[in-house]
Each structure stands twice: as structure tokens, then as C-alpha cells.
Structure 1
Amino acid sequence: MLRVQLPLSVTFLLPPIFLSLILTGVMLLPTHIQQELFLSSTDFQLFTLLSAQLLHHDWAHYGLNMGGIWLWWALFAESIPKLRYWLGLPVIMVFSSAAEFLFNSNFSLYAGFSGTLYGLFAYSGVSELRQKKWIGSLVFLGVLVKLTIDFSLPEVSAGLALFAHVGGVVAGGVLALVVPRSIDRKRGE
């Protein structure tokens, strides 16, 4: 019999609740304010590398990313056990936006949290790979396969922020390789 255990302690619930509230609040901002927060190819502002990750083009886009946050939580909340590990989230967000800005010559406005979600899944997958937890590693492999398919079949992935997804994966994967080691070294473990 399959038994599902969700991480229901406050420590694991607060980050996705907090993220959900922020994304919802930004989604409810007046349109003219949202327009100032998009990452634009013609009117670049440094702060938009972060703010664009909190925006969505419409409610369906928002709903998909909210579902992604809660799917990540159900699968991997325990892979980020302490609040200090969440300090890497803005790094993933900025790298995701920067990758879209630098490598996608066709975008005009960028918004969305999916690059950050790819980064969270990559972080968790690589973290679990390092701990020899193979299910998380399979999810990470799935993310890599999805990126490969998206780049190989552009007609299927039209409209996706592929470079933001890659930026998120790279940032999340690198953080998973670097951050835990430096934190463990500081604690003397």
C-alpha cells in the first residue's frame, strides 16, 4: 500500500506559503505597476531581474507556477531544511532572468516563476543525488530531459522561457553543489 507523508511541520510549510502569498500579492497589483516590474529587452532596469520572477502574464500562468511550488513542496520540502538555505532563492531568480535576458534574442517582456521552479527542482534533485536518494535524482534527470526536448522541438516549446529555465537549473544545481559544503564546513561537520 502506498503511504504518502507530506512535510506538514511549520518549518516546511512557511516557505511555500510565503512564496504563494508574495506571488498572489504581486498578481493583484494594478497593471500599470506590474508593467514597471517586467524584465524588458528595451527598457532594462537591474531590479527587474528579481521582480520579473514574481510576475505572471495571466492567471493561468500564475496557476501553473503555484501548482509547481506546491508540487515541489510535496516532493522536496525537506531538501531545504533550514531557512538559511532559502537565501539561495534570490540567486536562482536573478540567474534565471539574466539567462533569458542575455541569451534569448527574441524576447520583449519576461515574467514568470518557472525558471525559479526549475532551479528549485534542480537544487533539490542535486542535493538528493549527493545524499544518494535516487527518487530526487530521477526528478532532476526528468528536468534535464524536459529541457532537451524543449530545445530539440521548438514547435512544442513555443512561448516558453527556455533560457530562464536553463538559468534556473544551472543556478540551482551549482548552489546544491556549493552551498551545503560551505555551510557544513562552517559548522565543522
Structure 2
Amino acid sequence: MLHTRESNALHGKCTNTCVIAIVFTVLLPLLQFFHDQLLYQRYLIGAGEVWRLWTGNVVHTNHWHLLLNLAGLWLLVFIAPSPERKHIQLLQIGWLATCVGTGLWFMSTGVIWYMGFSGILYGLFILSGIRLLLQGDWLIATVFLVGIGGKTLLDWAQGGASPSAAFIEAPVIYAAHLYGMMGGILLSIPALRAHWQRT
């Protein structure tokens, strides 16, 4: 749990995270109507449709895939709302989408197609976990960091054929999760540096 002092300090800013979640809760289902024009498709990106590097993050294989990702986003809202302003949170999401899309393009050349918000979501969980760790909220930070890291290792060990693959009707592209996590770590570097300088 957040410390009481931190909770009071964040109380007025929690609505920022809620607003972001509401926007994506409305936006993501609507974008499903443009699924074919937005999914990450390597051959089409190579042919010049570069927007798919980013938009592949906002379409999903089916409604279960979408619901799982939205549930994860709302979990963050209730457990670890970001203290950042809305435009900063949107920039963070844009950065994580860039990490996922370009990571798949340059480092996972065998991935032909990808869709889903989970790469971004894993980055947000890492970002939140590190923030909570620096605030001294060890329990939730450990759950976030170990849980997300452990899930990624499990997906890797199973070759993407994790139990959630049955729900989303597609293999889990764990590389996208890894790139999102790396993006979250990079976003955390200034806070980590400031913390180390204070201690």
C-alpha cells in the first residue's frame, strides 16, 4: 500500500491516471474497427506503412485480449496511480509504444505480426514498480516487478504458448513485453539517479 503521506499527496493527481484509463477504455474498442489498417505487419511496414510500428499496440486479436489489457490498465489506476500529469503519462505511453514497435522491428525480425497493449502495459508496471520501490512500498513493488518479470520468463520458457495464449487466440509475443519493460526501466533512470544521489 502507498504510505498515507504519499496517498494524500497523490490524491489530487490520481484523477490524471483515471482520465488516461478512461480515454483508452473508450479508444481501444473503437480502434478495433480499423484492426487491419493498424496492426503491426512487418511486410507492410517495410513497404512504407511505418505507422504500424506504433498502432500495432492499440489493436487486439479478440475481445478477451482487449479486456485483459484494459483490466491490467485499471489495476494500475487503483493500486498505483501515476503522480505525473496527463501529458507526461501520454508521452510515457508513446515512448513505450516506440520501444515495443522499434524493438520488434530491429531486434525481433522473426516476428511478422503483432498486436496488443500489453507491451506498453508491462512497461507501465515496471515504471510503477520502480517508483513504488523508491517510495519504500516494498510489497507492491515486489509484486509488480517479480510478477511481470516472472510472467515474461514463463512466456519465454513456454515459447509464447502460455495459458493466456488460448484466450487471445494467438501466441504471446513475449519479446514485445521485454521491450516494453526495457522502456520502463529507461524511463526510471532519472528517478533512480536522483534517489542514489540523495542516499
TM superposition score normalised by structure 2: 0.75
Q: Deviations over 1:88-140 (max 9, x none)?
A: 22101110222233333443321110011100000011112222320232121
Which residue of structure 2 lines up, in the alignment, with residue 12 of structure 1?
14
Kindly tell me: are residues 10 and 28 of structure 1, through their superposed partners in 2, closer, same or farther at Cα, counting changes over 3 Å?
Answer: farther
How far apart, CA to CA, are the structure 2 residues paired with 1:105 and 1:133? Answer: 38
Structure 1 range deviating more: 166-175 or 95-104: 95-104
Match of 2:168 in 1: none
Partners of 2:132 and 2:120 lie apart in 1 by 18
> Match for 2:137 among 133, 152, 158?
133
Looking at structure 1, the residues matched to 94 and 192 of structure 2 have their Cα atoms a distance apart, in angstroms, of 17
SS of 2:159's partner is coil
Relative to 1, partners in 2 of residues 1:48 and 1:179: Cα closer, same or farther, differing over 3 Å? farther
CA apart distance, 1:82: 3.0
Amino acid aligned to 1:15: T
The within-5 A match list for 1:111-150 is 111-138=115-142, 139-150=144-155
Report the counterpart of residue 156 of structure 2 in structure 1. 151
Say yes or no: does 1:35 pair with 2:36. Answer: yes
1:15-56 superposed Cα distances (whole Å, 9 cap, x missing partner): 34434434533433474x331111111110332222221111
Q: 2:177 aligns with which of 165, 169, 176?
A: 165
Number of aligned residue pairs: give it.
178
- Taking the aligned partners of 1:137 and 1:43, their CA distance within structure 2 comes to 39
RMSD value, Cα: 3.0
- CA 1:28/1:16 → structure 2, altered by over 3 Å: closer, same or farther? same
Distance 1:137 1:52, change over 3 A: same
Bigger shift: 147-156 or 137-146?
A: 147-156
The farther-off stretch of 117-126 and 127-136 is: 127-136
**21-30 or 160-169, which deviates more:** 21-30
Structure 1: give runs of 5+ residues left out of the alignment: 183-189
Alignment partners' CA distance in 1, 2:149 and 2:123: 11
Q: Name the amino acid aligned to 1:150.
A: D
Could you tell me which runs of 5 or more consecutive residues in structure 2 were left unpaired when the two chains were aligned.
166-170, 195-199
Q: Which has the higher helix share?
A: 2
**1:123 partner amino acid:** L
Say if 2:112 is the partner of 1:108: yes
Question: Where do 1:90-105 residues align within 5 Å?
Answer: 90-105=94-109
One-letter code aligned to 2:41: S
Percent of paired sites with the same residue: 23
SS in 2 for 1:166: helix
Partner amino acid, structure 1, of 2:189: L
The DSSP-based 3-state class of the residue aligned with 1:160 is coil
Distance (Å, rounded) in 2 between the aligned partners of 1:30 and 1:71: 22
Shift in Å at residue 147 of structure 1? 1.4
Counterpart CA distance in 2 for 1:14 and 1:57 is 28
